[in-house]
Amino acid sequence: MTLPDSAIKHLELKANEIRQDIIKMLLEAGSGHSAGPLGMADILTALYFHILHHNPHNPDLADRDRLVLSNGHICPVLYTTLAHSGYFPVSELKTLRKLGTRLQGHPHRGSLPGLETTSGPLGSGLSQSCGMAYVAKMDQKTWRVICLMSDGEQEAGNTWEAVMFAGKNKLDNLVGVIDRNNIQIDGFTEDIMPLEPLKDKYESFNWHVVDIDGHNFQSIHDAFDLAKTIHSKPTLILAHTTPGKGVSFMENKYEWHGKAPNKQEAEEALTQLRHIEEAIRHA
């Protein structure tokens, strides 16, 4: 299905608003991850405002789709998207990482409505997603499990244990998404520990793999739609994204993987994002 321009424009504006809030919350927090959250803002927006079956007023809805954030460190984008969806007040975003907050530095299930799991240590989110998807099949439920992963965590052995399990058990109700932004804390993934050919690797484990531009809402929509038609295999969406997307001095810079902007940098980032916002409005 081709999305109408108005729908795409609406999603682009929402993602831009989420990016602006990410910058504001990171400035307020004084620490946290910038590049990953900005890079994944479009996919999170598409999921919560278009793709997932969920209800912000009933986070425990029995047949909701489960979104598992395996790379917990990009939680600023998840928190911001959840708040904008209506799970909790947007004003609470400024409590990120502060004493007593429900917005822990890495997500803690039970602290905040809408979180399916506790995460941070890399490599185990896909396993948890497999467990959920396995139960959905056992109990003949129709809900899907979406597992968001970083590319860096493809270096973890636990990830591949789960990749094998999902392939063996033909978990076609599971969609894995890799944020293929090519950076990790210490540098570029292909320098730290080469991952390619990632597509071939997943395919050889009985996964169906789709490559997409992770900033194109039509492509994101199509990939999740396609996943519904793939039977007897889990689907992997290899989402090529630009880390730090929308803020020129952060884009593709691994130095911005794990740090927050200072006041001046945040102001500059917000100016750039507002220019993009204007461009979307007038497109």
Q: Give the residues lining the site for another protein (CB under 8 A).
A: 66, 68, 108-110, 116-121, 123-124, 127-136, 138-139, 157-158, 161-162, 164-165
- Residue 124: CB minimum distance to another protein, A: 4
| CA 155 to mean position of chain CA atoms | 18
Question: How many beta carbons lie within 10 A of that of residue 274, not counting itself?
Answer: 12
Compare residues 73 and 245 and give the one whose CB is closer to another protein.
Answer: 73
* Phi, psi at 152, each rounded to 5°: -55, -35
Spell out where 126-243 has E strands: 145-150, 174-180, 183-184, 187-188, 208-213, 235-240
Q: Measured from the CB of residue 205, what is the shortest distance to another protein in angstroms?
A: 13
CB 134, min distance to another protein, A = 6
Q: Which is nearer to another protein, 63 or 186 (CB)?
A: 63
* Cβ closest to another protein, residue 98 vs residue 109: 109
Please give the structure tokens belonging to residue 37. Answer: 């959250």
Give residue 136's identity as a one-letter amino acid code: A
Q: Which is nearer to another protein, 123 or 243 (CB)?
A: 123
What is the smallest separation between the CB atom of 199 and another protein, expressed in angstroms?
Answer: 22
How many other CB atoms sit within 10 Å of the CB of residue 281? 11
Token pair, residue 82, equals 């959840």
Q: Minimum distance between the CB of residue 105 and another protein, rounded to whole angstroms?
A: 13
Total residues belonging to the chain:
283
Q: Which is nearer to another protein, 136 or 273 (CB)?
A: 136
